[in-house]
């Protein structure tokens, strides 16, 4: 038996009575801070180059992010250059704050202030690790020593920061992260933050950002929410701090950690696009924001063109957004299962019949159009797809509204094709099947010409007289004629002249495809064969009568074929 699990130390949840967060709901967007250019970039096999970083910055501004961590300028020359390029190039909008990260160490702090010279709106973010584990194995010091690292850093930052703001008139704010907060004893986390707050003279008018990172996610989201609520309750002068989260995704629950953490009192969230970041990544801002959106909350971030954002992200990070990534993956607005396709179809019909304010389509929690995705790929077709899927594609991609009774027949034709192909098929292939199976069906009989006339009998009743010329294979052309109460009936009856007695017209639907001068009529004709087999024929023509007559012959040909 594998006993490997025994070497792990389980997370110790805090004892907590009267928790309030489970009864709350998220009602507004947090303050978003992107760490794509720092935490995200530092985790890339090939970090972004200067040009890509500038483009990423502009993309984030376009999405609406107002706080952007640009880098760790004291630790890397390229990050220093990026910062200078942004500032010197005048690329930072006035309402966007750049955030710079620095360890709570003197020489790094001084270099950071050099890097931000000329910036108007800056968050200086300093951190040191506080967890029990880091204290033991990395710093080999006690909590007192850790608090001293933080407070020494805070003192210098405050001194240099005040001077910088006074000299340049810049808006300068401070952020402190007790790094690896999630592994820090709750009282120690409060202790270090409280001491830093005092030095930074945090006040309700001048709030410090206290960022509580799940540097390595180590507990369930509810346990983390307990920590956050407890922290907020214990922190003196709580109103002088903005509580920020920085979840990593080691347990795959960064989104839930963020959401429950917001319920527990946090007001700000650091994350990245599509969750890029160290190891399993940072919290994915796209998912958290669109989760809010689908709960009718304005996330204050614009993901209206998700494909463009995704393409850019994939280009600069050389990472791939998974096909099933929430809201952004290639397959997330796709249904393969027949019952899902059918329900989506019905949902679309419902919304057409009941135009209203709400999105009510089963299996689609988000209107794909809201993220700039098309309806076309909503339903994709493989051999598992149901009868409605192919009809959906025909209607939504190509504008053919196949009558409901025709769906099983066409669906079966598509399924046969898929089984042979052994793969998913494209909308173009579906159209091809439709053409081969119906419109261009190469059958026994070919219509050469026809004429319709209206006949009024002695009782004043009108009937339609059909005269046509048809050819069977290469045989001589034969003339046929018949009467009926309409063109289709008359054409059906005329087929008697070919010795095809017994075909009965069952149903008929028509509509136009295309618009204006290019519009073409399409007629779907259902007939019953002499042995009681019901099947469809389709005819197309600018003249709707011709379309119908072709449809009749198509149905007969298919039956004979």
Residues that bind Zn ion (CB under 5 A): 39
Q: Does 79 bind ligand KIV (CB under 6 A)?
A: no
CB burial readout 365-380, b (16+ within 10 A) else e = bbebeebebebebbbb
Among 179, 226, 342, 528, binds ligand KIV (CB under 6 A): 179
Q: Indicate which of ligand KIV, Zn ion, none lies near residue 177 (CB less than 5 to 8 Å, by partner kind).
A: ligand KIV
We find the least distance from the C-beta atom of residue 129 to ligand KIV, in angstroms, to be 8
Among 57, 127, 191, 231, binds ligand KIV (CB under 6 A): 127
**How far apart, in whole angstroms, are the C-alpha atoms of residue 510 and residue 538?**
10
* 2: number of Cβ within 10 Å: 5
Task: Identify residues 80-119 at the interface with ligand KIV (CB under 6 A).
Answer: 101
**How far apart, in whole angstroms, are the C-alpha atoms of residue 252 and residue 81?**
34
- 37 vs 439, which CB is nearer to ligand KIV? 37
Q: Does 207 bind ligand KIV (CB under 6 A)?
A: no
Q: Indicate which of Zn ion, ligand KIV, none lies near residue 368 (CB less than 5 to 8 Å, by partner kind).
A: none
Q: Regarding beta strands 208-214 and 241-247, do their DSSP bridges make them parallel or antiparallel, or are they unpaired?
A: parallel
Q: Does 434 bind ligand KIV (CB under 6 A)?
A: no
Q: Indicate which of ligand KIV, Zn ion, none lies near residue 79 (CB less than 5 to 8 Å, by partner kind).
A: none
- The DSSP H or E segment spanning 129 is strand 121-129
Q: Indicate which of Zn ion, ligand KIV, none lies near residue 317 (CB less than 5 to 8 Å, by partner kind).
A: none
- 128 vs 489, which CB is nearer to ligand KIV? 128
Nearest to 510 by CA among 531, 490, 528, 486: 486
- 283 vs 418, which CB is nearer to Zn ion? 283
We find the least distance from the C-beta atom of residue 177 to Zn ion, in angstroms, to be 9
We find the least distance from the C-beta atom of residue 75 to ligand KIV, in angstroms, to be 11
Among 134, 215, 291, 526, binds ligand KIV (CB under 6 A): 215
Residue 68: Cβ-neighbour burial (10 angstroms; 0-12, 13-18, 19+): buried
**How far apart, in whole angstroms, are the C-alpha atoms of residue 253 and residue 220?**
8
Residue 504: Cβ-neighbour burial (10 angstroms; 0-12, 13-18, 19+): middle
Question: φ and ψ at 281, to 5 degrees?
Answer: 100, 175
Nearest to 188 by CA among 138, 150, 137, 139: 150
Task: Identify residues 1-40 at the interface with ligand KIV (CB under 6 A).
Answer: 39
Stretch that binds ligand KIV, among 211-219, 289-297, 403-411, 536-544 (CB under 6 A): 211-219
**How far apart, in whole angstroms, are the C-alpha atoms of residue 510 and residue 500?**
25
**How far apart, in whole angstroms, are the C-alpha atoms of residue 19 and residue 222?**
10
Task: Identify residues 243-272 at the interface with ligand KIV (CB under 6 A).
Answer: 246, 248
Nearest to 174 by CA among 136, 129, 134, 126: 126
Q: Indicate which of Zn ion, ligand KIV, none lies near residue 179 (CB less than 5 to 8 Å, by partner kind).
A: ligand KIV
Q: For the chain, how big is the Rg over CA atoms in Å?
A: 34
The single-letter DSSP state of residue 138 is I
Stretch that binds ligand KIV, among 116-124, 207-215, 304-312, 532-540 (CB under 6 A): 207-215
Stretch that binds ligand KIV, among 144-152, 209-217, 421-429, 523-531 (CB under 6 A): 209-217
We find the least distance from the C-beta atom of residue 31 to ligand KIV, in angstroms, to be 15
Residues at the site binding ligand KIV, with contacts judged by CB under 6 A: 39, 101, 127, 177, 179, 211, 213, 215, 246, 248
């Amino acid at each position: 038996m594998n006993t490997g699990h025994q070497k792990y130390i389980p997370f110790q949840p805090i004892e907590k009575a009267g928790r309030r967060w489970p009864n709350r709901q998220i009602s507004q967007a947090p303050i978003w801070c992107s760490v794509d250019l720092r935490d995200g970039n530092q985790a890339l096999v090939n970090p972004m180059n200067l040009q890509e970083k500038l483009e990423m910055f502009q993309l984030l501004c376009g999405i609406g992010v107002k706080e952007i961590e640009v880098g760790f300028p004291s630790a890397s020359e390229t990050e220093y250059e990026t910062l200078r390029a942004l500032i010197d190039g005048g690329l930072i909008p006035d309402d966007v704050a750049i955030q710079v990260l620095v360890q709570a160490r003197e020489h790094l702090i001084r270099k950071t202030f050099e890097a931000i010279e000329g910036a108007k709106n800056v968050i200086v973010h300093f951190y040191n690790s506080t967890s029990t584990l880091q204290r033991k194995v990395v710093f080999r010091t006690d909590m007192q020593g850790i608090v001293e690292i933080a407070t020494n850093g805070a003192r210098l930052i405050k001194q240099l920061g005040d001077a910088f703001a006074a000299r340049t008139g810049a808006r300068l704010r401070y952020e402190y992260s007790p790094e690896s907060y999630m592994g820090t004893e709750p009282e120690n986390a409060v202790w270090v933050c409280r001491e830093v707050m005092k030095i930074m003279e945090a006040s309700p008018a001048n709030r410090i950002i206290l960022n509580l990172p799940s540097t390595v996610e180590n507990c369930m989201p509810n346990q983390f929410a307990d920590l956050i609520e407890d922290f907020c309750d214990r922190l003196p002068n709580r109103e002088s701090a903005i509580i920020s989260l920085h979840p990593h995704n080691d347990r795959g629950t960064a989104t839930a950690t963020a959401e429950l953490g917001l319920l527990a009192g946090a007001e700000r969230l650091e994350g990245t696009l599509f969750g890029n970041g160290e190891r399993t990544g940072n919290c994915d801002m796209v998912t958290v924001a669109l989760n809010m959106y689908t709960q009718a909350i304005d996330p204050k971030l614009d993901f209206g063109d998700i494909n463009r954002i995704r393409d850019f992200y994939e280009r600069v990070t050389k990472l791939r957004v998974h096909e099933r990534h929430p809201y952004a993956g290639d397959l997330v607005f796709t249904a393969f299962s027949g019952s899902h396709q059918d329900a989506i179809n019905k949902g679309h019909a419902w919304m057409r019949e009941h135009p209203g304010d709400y999105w009510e389509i089963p299996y689609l929690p988000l209107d794909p159009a809201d993220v700039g995705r098309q309806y076309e790929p909503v339903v994709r077709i493989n051999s598992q797809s149901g009868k409605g899927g192919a009809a959906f594609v025909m209607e939504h991609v190509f504008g053919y509204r196949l009558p409901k009774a025709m769906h099983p027949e066409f669906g079966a034709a598509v399924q046969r094709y898929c089984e042979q192909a052994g793969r998913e098929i494209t909308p173009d292939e579906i159209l091809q099947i439709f053409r081969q199976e119906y419109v261009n069906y190469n059958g026994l009989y070919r219509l050469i010409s026809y004429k319709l006339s209206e006949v009024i009998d002695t009782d004043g009743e009108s009937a339609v007289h059909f005269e046509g010329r048809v050819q069977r294979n290469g045989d001589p052309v034969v003339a046929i004629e018949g009467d009926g109460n309409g063109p289709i009936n008359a054409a059906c009856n005329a087929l008697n002249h070919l010795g095809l007695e017994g075909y009965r017209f069952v149903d008929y639907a028509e509509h136009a495809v295309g618009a204006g001068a290019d519009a073409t009529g399409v007629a779907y004709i259902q007939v019953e064969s002499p042995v009681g087999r019901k099947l469809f024929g389709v005819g197309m023509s600018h003249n709707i009568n011709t379309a119908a007559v072709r449809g009749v012959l198509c149905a007969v040909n298919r039956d004979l074929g």
